[in-house]
Amino acid sequence: MKKLLEKTHEAWLATLMTAFMAKNAKSKQTLFEFSDIMFRHFTWIEHDLIVRGMDYDYDRDHIPIKVERLKTMTDNLLSRISDLELLTIECEDENLRHRIESDLSYISKVIASIPDESVEAFDMNRKYGDVELSREATDALTLFLFEESYKEYELIMIYNYLKAHSDDEFINRIFQIMVDESFFHLRSFCQMMSDMGILGVPRVIHRSLYSVEDMESFLRDGIEEETAAKEQCRELSDAVAADSEELASFFDFINYQESYHIDLMKEALEYYTSSKSDK
Ligand SMILES: [Fe+2]
Ligand SMILES: [Fe+2]
């Protein structure tokens, strides 16, 4: 079951990365939908492990994605799926097992029919569409995308883990918003990376980051981090403003979204500190 979780985690990320590479709109859309379904499988398998009191973590293998043809990746996804199909036997919850098996059988059929295309997600062109950025702005953007795509993946995993281990409705509403919002940021940043020919899989996150023991200090640090992310967006918006109105307004938009994350985390912090003082 732990193996099934780990392999589902890898298949989810590999499918997501393939979606960023695909240029054909229909293939892209299909791959995004399938990666979402695999992420849901991941959360259900995780829930099953928790219910059974089994220890698990978010460790996974390195996921190689540097390909020149999309078919290399879709073939890789098919072999990942057939590995998963052998592992579903580990799943003791019969309903869940049937659901996963039937999803995977359909998903692999559709993935096998995705047309091949050339992949430009690794060509290091470092250009975003027809935007002409200065060398400094390009460097700032590149660095930002590498750091923040990892950060967003980390946040998805952390908030997902915390939510999986909590049955507090008030706090889980906030955690779910943070997961959803981080998904949007991850998708936006990775798509930009793909367009700029610098796509990369976020690195594995360490267990100490998500198995949070002290919620209050976690939230306090989180608020600080979100504030830093806001500042980075603002700086980036300034750096690209002279060259691209479109990019500048995009990073302002992300910056204002971070403000709401800070407000939510403050709300969560207040809830923790006040429920502690109630006791
Ligand atoms: Fe963010
Ligand atoms: Fe955020």
Write out pLDDT tens, residues 224-278: 999 998 998 899 898 888 888 999 999 999 999 999 999 999 999 999 999 877 6
| pLDDT at residue 158 tops 60 | yes
The two tokens of residue 252 are 């302002």
Ligand 1 centre and the CA of 55: distance in Å? Answer: 29
pLDDT per position as a tens digit, 15-74: 999 999 999 999 999 999 999 999 999 999 999 999 999 999 999 999 999 999 999 999
Q: pTM for the complete prediction? A: 0.95
Ligand closest to 186 (CA) is: 1
Report, as an integer, the average pLDDT of 131-160: 94
Ligand 1 centre and the CA of 22: distance in Å? Answer: 24
Q: What pLDDT does 92 receive?
A: 86
CA gap 256, 263 in Å, rounded:
11
| pLDDT at residue 5 tops 60 | yes
Ligand closest to 251 (CA) is: 1
Ligand 2 centre and the CA of 261: distance in Å? Answer: 5
Q: What pLDDT does 278 receive?
A: 67
Ligand closest to 225 (CA) is: 2
Q: What pLDDT does 242 receive?
A: 85
Measured from the Cβ of residue 178, the count of other Cβ atoms closer than 10 Å reads 23
Burial (CB < 10 A; 0-12, 13-18, 19+), residue 256, is: exposed
Q: What pLDDT does 279 receive?
A: 53
Determine the residue type at 68. E
The two tokens of residue 225 are 């981090």
Please report the domains of the chain, with CATH numbers, ordered by start residue.
1-119 (1.20.1260), 121-279 (1.20.1260.10)
Ligand closest to 183 (CA) is: 1
Ligand 2 centre and the CA of 265: distance in Å? Answer: 10
Sign of the dihedral through C-alpha 8, 174, 154, 24: positive
Ligand 1 centre and the CA of 251: distance in Å? Answer: 11
Q: Percent of the chain at pLDDT above 70?
A: 99
Ligand 2 centre and the CA of 166: distance in Å? Answer: 21
pLDDT per position as a tens digit, 178-213: 999 999 999 999 999 999 999 999 999 999 999 998
